[in-house]
Structure 1
């Protein structure tokens, strides 16, 4: 099963290839995608405390080898060291970038056939 490419990214809008839905923020993995609401794990509108281990857990369980995290267009969403440690302890390499760069890297990995997942914030 392959990871879907991200077809479109603009402020507040992401579209995943093969998916009829559009997202503001999303999670993607081999064979699927869904909306991502980082407030579910306690991150507030000031983007604090940021991407939590619980935000990436679902994607890690999909058998990925690489994870790309998009912190937002202005990189407002933080990624604490505890989250990076959690991903690395799971044996998954992680890349954290500004969202446009993160999507480009994610799509590059998809085209290479990597087992890659991602969590992307499309504003701030």
Structure 2
């Protein structure tokens, strides 16, 4: 399988840098974009703005946060809890993903582990998507 999800090139506190994807879906490993938090999916990425959906450390990741990922038909979704695992991932969210697409494997990890797993799956050619929170 060939790579279809852009790789994360580096991540540090408050910053994540990923490969860009052209309008035709071609991944450009030589052109990078940096976000504070990121939504990543097969053939794309963008900033993850918590204000759009009401996501917060205590309320957790919202269903609306994963809707955009599900739209791109991933077979794996990785949800990061932050570097210090302070971001909640409600069981209702996991249930929502399973009910929306029962074929999607959901992985919940700290951001550092999520970064490594995401890249591993992307390199293997899996249709992987992720929500990556780069701080607490």
Which of 12, 17, 20 pairs up with 2:19?
A: 17
Aligned pair count reads 122
**8 A contact 1:87–1:93 mirrored in 2:** no
Which of 81, 84, 95 pairs up with 2:107?
A: 95
Q: TM-score, normalised by structure 2?
A: 0.85
- Deviating above 2 A after TM superposition, structure 1's stretches of 4 or more consecutive aligned residues are 18-21
Aligned partner of 1:6 in structure 2 is 8
The DSSP-based 3-state class of the residue aligned with 2:118 is helix
The DSSP-based 3-state class of the residue aligned with 1:21 is strand
Rg larger in structure:
2
Alignment of 1:106-117 (within 5 A): 106-117=118-129
Task: Tell me the distance in 2 between the aligned counterparts of 1:94 and 1:81.
Answer: 11
Alignment of 1:21-36 (within 5 A): 21-36=33-48
**CA-CA distance at 1:21 after TM superposition:** 2.5
Q: TM-score, normalised by structure 1?
A: 0.93
Q: CA RMSD in A?
A: 1.3
Stretches of structure 2 lacking an aligned partner (at least 5 in a row): 21-30
Aligned partner of 2:116 in structure 1 is 104
Is 1:71 matched with 2:81? yes
User: Bigger shift: 58-67 or 1-10?
Assistant: 1-10
Is 1:120 matched with 2:132? yes
**CA-CA distance at 1:114 after TM superposition:** 0.4
The DSSP-based 3-state class of the residue aligned with 2:59 is coil
